[in-house]
C-alpha cells in the first residue's frame, strides 16, 4: 500500500481509534467518566492480551541471547536523577498560545502536519517553520508566541518529606544494582540485563494516542561490556553479513532513500562504530521483525549529530511506517559509553568497576536497546486493521497469527444444551494451554465476524455431528477455509499450527 498523505492519515487515525475502542483494545484518555486525563490510557481485555504477546516476544528474544530480566523500583530519590543528568537536562521544547495560553511541544506540532523530523531543527528554525507554514494553536487556532522555552519532563513526588521522582526510563534503574549484577554474573563481562516496566514523563500536551503517553511501559535491554572488547564480539560473526535498512544522517540530508547494507559494510564505512554495537542494532531489528512488523515498514535512522542524547556516542532509531502517523520512532539503540556508571560512582561514592583477567580495573561501557511495549502494540493495530469496503465495511484485524490476542474461538452452532455442554467441555480442555474465547450468542456468521475482528486465527464450531462423531469444524481466519477434525486432536493440531509444523491448507489435504 502507498504511504498516506496528511489528510488520509488523520481520517485513518479516527477510524483506527474508534475501532480499537469499540473492540475493547484501548480506552482513553482515562478516566473517561471524569473527562479523561491526557496521556493516560486503559488497556481493555483484547488490548491487554495483545500487549502481553508483545512482552512475551520481548522476553523470548532477549532470553534467547542470554539476557536476564530484573525489576527495579519506579520511584527513586532525586540524587539518582541528579547523577544521571535527568533533573538538569531531561526536558522538551515548549511553545505557548498567545490567546488561550495552552502549551505545546513545537516539534510535535510540526511533525503532526508535515512529514519531517523536527528534532534536528534549531529553535530559530522551528520558529521560522511555524511562521512560514502558518501553524496555529490546535485548541483555539490562536497565534503561537514567537518564543520557545523548555520544560522538565520529570514527574515529581515526595517520599517521607524528601524529593523523589518517578523514573522517566527503566535504563538508569538497571544500572544501579551493577555491583550485585557483576557478582551474579561471576564478574565476567559482557552480560546483558533487561527490564519491562512502567516509566513516566510529564509530556507537554500529548496528542498522539498510545505513541505519547505520560505513563507507559518500557522494555529496555542493557549490555555491560569492556570497551576494549567492543570489536571482539563473538556473536557478531553470525550476523555480520545480514543486510539491514540503514539510513545514514548524510543520506537523510541528501534525500537519498534507504538501501539495505550488511552490518559488516556499515562498520567498514564507519556508519556504526563497533561490532558489539552492530550486533545490538541487529538484535533490535530482529525484535521488531519478531513482532510481525513487515520488513518494508522498518528502517534504521541515524541521529543527526545535534539530536543525540546527552549520554550517547552512537545513536540510531528504529522507525516503523504507520498508516496513522507515518514514519515513527519505535526504538533507540545507544552506545552510552561509561557515562552512567561514572556518574553514579561519583554521586554514590561507590566504586562501580569491573576487572580484567590481568587485574586491570575499568568502568564498563553500556550498550542500550531502548523501546516500549505500547508503541509496538499500537503499530500492530495500525498496520493490521483492515476494512473491506466491498463487504459493507466489514472490519478485520489481520494481525500475524503468532501475535493474535486470542488463540482460538469455540462456538456451539446454536444455544442448545446438548451443544453448549460439549462446547464448554472443549473450551475447558483447550484453556489449559491456549487463550480461548467462548461465544454462544448471535448467529454463527456474526460470531465468525466478531472473532476475526479481534484477530483470532481459528474458530471451532460444535454442531450436531460433533455429538455423534466426536469431531468439529475448525475455520481459518484469513482463508475462511474449514476442516473437520476429531475433538481429541484439536489441542495437538492447534499446537502444530502455532509451531508452523503444519499449515491450514496442509490440514485440508488430510481431511
Ligand atoms: Zn490557543
User: Rounded distance, CA 319 to CA 448, Å?
Assistant: 34
Domains 6-90+153-382 and 406-510 share a fold: no
What distance in angstroms lies between residue 32's CA and the mean position of ligand 1's atoms? Answer: 23
Does residue 308 register a pLDDT over 80?
Answer: no
Global confidence as pTM: 0.94
Model confidence at 391, in pLDDT bands (50, 70, 90)? low
Ligand 1 centroid to residue 105 C-alpha, Å? 13
Q: Tens of pLDDT along 468-504?
A: 999 999 999 999 999 999 999 999 999 999 999 999 9
Q: Return the SS3 of 294.
A: coil
pLDDT of residue 86: 95
Q: How large is the average pLDDT for residues 225-241?
A: 96
SS3 of 443-511: CHHHHHHHHHHCCCCEEEEECHHHHHHCEEEEEECCCCCEEEEEHHHHHHHHHHHHCCCCCHHHHHHHC
Q: In terms of C-beta density within 10 A (0-12 exposed, 13-18 middle, 19 or more buried), how is residue 329 classed?
A: middle
| Residue ranges of E strands in 344-429 | 354-355, 361-362, 365-372, 385-388, 394-397, 408-412
Cα 136 to ligand 1 centroid, rounded to whole Å:
8
Asked whether the beta carbons of 467 and 420 are under 8 A apart, the reply is: no
How much is the mean pLDDT over the chain?
A: 94
Q: What is the pLDDT of residues 34-79, one digit of tens each?
A: 999 999 999 999 999 999 999 999 999 999 999 999 999 999 999 9
| Cα pseudo-dihedral 15, 21, 25, 31, rounded to 10 | 140
Q: Which CATH architecture has domain 406-510?
A: 3-Layer(aba) Sandwich (3.40)
**H-type alpha helices, 193-274:** 236-239, 249-254, 263-268
Distance 140 CA to ligand 1 centre (A): 4
Q: How far is CA 76 from the centre of its chain?
A: 25
Residue 310 has pLDDT above 90, yes or no: no
Tens of pLDDT, residues 135-145: 999 989 999 99
CA 147 – ligand 1 centroid, Å: 15
Contact by Cβ (8 Å): 238, 64: no
CA 317 to ligand 1 center in whole angstroms: 33
Among candidates 281, 254, 253, which has minimal Cα distance to 265? 281
392 has pLDDT over 80: no
Q: Strand order in 155-159's β-sheet?
A: 75-77, 162-166, 155-159
Q: How far is the CA of 215 from the centre of ligand 1 (A)?
A: 25
Helix (H) / strand (E) containing 149: strand 144-152
Structural domain boundaries in the chain = 6-90+153-382, 91-152, 406-510
pLDDT more than 70, % of the chain: 96
C-alpha cell at 243: 543486510
Q: For residue 2, is pLDDT > 60?
A: no
Q: What is the pLDDT of residues 356-378, one digit of tens each?
A: 999 999 999 999 999 999 999 99
Reply yes or no on whether the pLDDT at 253 is more than 90: no
What's the 481 CA to ligand 1 centre distance in angstroms?
A: 54
How many angstroms does the Cα of residue 322 sit away from the middle of ligand 1?
28
In the numeric block, which cell numbers belong to residue 317?
Answer: 532509531
**From the CA of 146, how far away is ligand 1's center (Å)?**
14
Cβ count within 10 A of residue 500 = 9
Q: Is the pLDDT of residue 1 over 70?
A: no
3-state class (DSSP) for residue 24: coil
pLDDT at 158: 97
Under the banding of pLDDT at 50, 70 and 90, the label for residue 508 is confident
Please give all residues whose CB falls under 5 A of ion ligand 1, grouped by chain where several chains appear: 97, 99-100, 102, 137, 139-140, 142
The yes or no reply on domain 6-90+153-382 and CATH 3.30.930.10 is: yes
State the distance from the centre of ligand 1 to the C-alpha of 130, rounded, in angstroms. 15
DSSP assignment, residue 308? Answer: S
Amino acid at each position: 500500500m502507498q504511504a498516506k498523505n496528511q489528510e488520509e492519515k488523520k481520517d485513518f487515525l479516527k477510524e483506527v481509534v474508534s475501532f480499537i475502542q469499540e473492540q475493547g483494545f484501548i480506552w482513553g484518555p482515562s478516566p473517561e467518566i471524569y473527562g479523561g486525563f491526557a496521556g493516560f490510557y486503559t488497556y481493555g481485555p483484547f488490548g491487554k492480551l495483545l500487549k502481553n504477546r508483545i512482552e512475551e516476544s520481548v522476553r523470548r528474544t532477549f532470553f534467547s541471547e542470554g539476557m536476564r530480566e530484573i525489576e527495579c523500583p519506579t520511584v527513586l530519590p532525586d540524587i539518582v536523577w541528579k547523577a544521571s543528568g535527568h533533573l538538569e537536562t531531561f526536558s522538551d521544547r515548549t511553545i505557548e498560545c498567545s490567546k488561550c495560553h495552552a502549551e505545546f511541544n513545537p516539534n510535535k506540532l510540526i511533525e503532526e502536519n508535515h512529514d519531517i523530523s523536527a528534532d534536528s531543527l534549531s529553535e530559530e528554525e522551528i520558529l521560522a517553520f511555524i511562521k512560514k507554514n502558518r501553524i496555529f494553536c490546535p485548541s483555539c487556532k490562536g497565534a503561537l508566541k514567537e518564543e520557545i522555552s523548555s520544560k522538565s519532563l520529570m514527574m515529581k513526588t515526595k517520599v517521607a518529606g524528601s524529593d523523589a521522582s518517578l523514573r522517566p526510563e527503566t535504563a538508569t534503574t538497571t544500572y544501579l544494582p551493577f555491583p550485585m549484577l557483576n557478582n551474579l554474573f561471576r564478574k565476567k563481562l559482557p552480560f546483558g540485563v533487561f527490564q519491562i516496566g512502567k516509566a513516566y514523563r510529564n509530556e507537554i500536551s500529548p496528542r498522539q494516542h498510545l505513541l505519547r503517553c505520560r505513563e507507559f511501559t518500557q522494555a529496555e535491554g542493557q549490555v555491560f561490556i569492556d570497551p576494549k572488547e567492543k570489536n571482539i564480539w563473538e556473536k557478531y560473526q553470525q550476523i555480520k553479513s545480514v543486510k539491514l535498512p540503514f539510513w545514514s544522517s548524510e543520506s537523510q540530508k541528501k534525500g537519498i532513500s534507504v538501501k539495505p547494507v550488511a552490518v559488516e559494510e556499515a562498520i567498514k564505512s564507519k556508519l556504526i562504530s563497533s561490532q558489539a554495537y552492530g550486533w545490538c542494532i541487529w538484535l533490535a531489528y530482529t525484535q521488531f521483525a519478531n513482532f510481525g512488523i513487515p520488513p518494508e515498514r522498518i528502517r534504521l535512522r541515524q541521529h543527526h549529530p545535534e539530536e543525540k542524547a546527552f549520554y550517547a556516542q552512537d545513536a540510531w532509531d528504529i522507525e516503523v511506517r504507520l498508516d496513522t502517523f507515518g514514519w515513527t520512532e519505535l526504538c533507540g539503540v545507544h552506545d552510552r559509553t561509561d557515562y552512567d556508571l561514572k556518574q553514579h560512582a561519583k554521586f554514590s561514592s561507590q566504586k562501580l568497576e569491573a576487572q580484567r583477567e590481568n587485574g586491570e580495573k575499568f568502568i564498563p561501557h553500556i550498550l542500550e536497546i531502548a523501546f516500549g511495549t505500547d508503541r509496538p502494540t499500537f503499530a500492530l493495530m495500525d498496520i493490521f486493521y483492515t476494512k473491506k469496503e466491498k463487504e459493507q465495511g466489514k472490519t478485520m484485524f489481520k494481525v500475524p497469527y503468532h501475535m493474535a490476542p486470542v488463540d482460538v474461538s469455540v462456538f456451539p452452532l446454536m444455544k442448545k444444551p446438548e451443544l453448549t455442554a460439549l462446547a464448554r467441555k472443549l473450551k475447558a480442555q483447550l484453556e489449559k494451554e491456549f487463550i480461548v474465547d467462548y461465544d454462544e450468542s448471535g448467529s454463527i456468521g456474526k460470531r465468525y465476524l466478531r472473532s476475526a475482528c479481534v484477530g483470532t486465527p481459528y474458530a471451532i464450531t460444535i454442531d450436531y455431528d460433533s455429538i455423534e462423531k466426536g469431531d468439529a469444524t475448525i475455520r481459518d481466519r484469513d482463508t475462511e477455509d474449514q476442516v473437520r477434525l476429531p475433538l481429541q486432536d484439536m489441542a495437538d493440531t492447534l499446537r502444530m499450527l502455532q509451531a508452523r509444523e503444519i499449515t491450514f491448507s496442509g490440514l485440508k489435504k488430510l481431511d
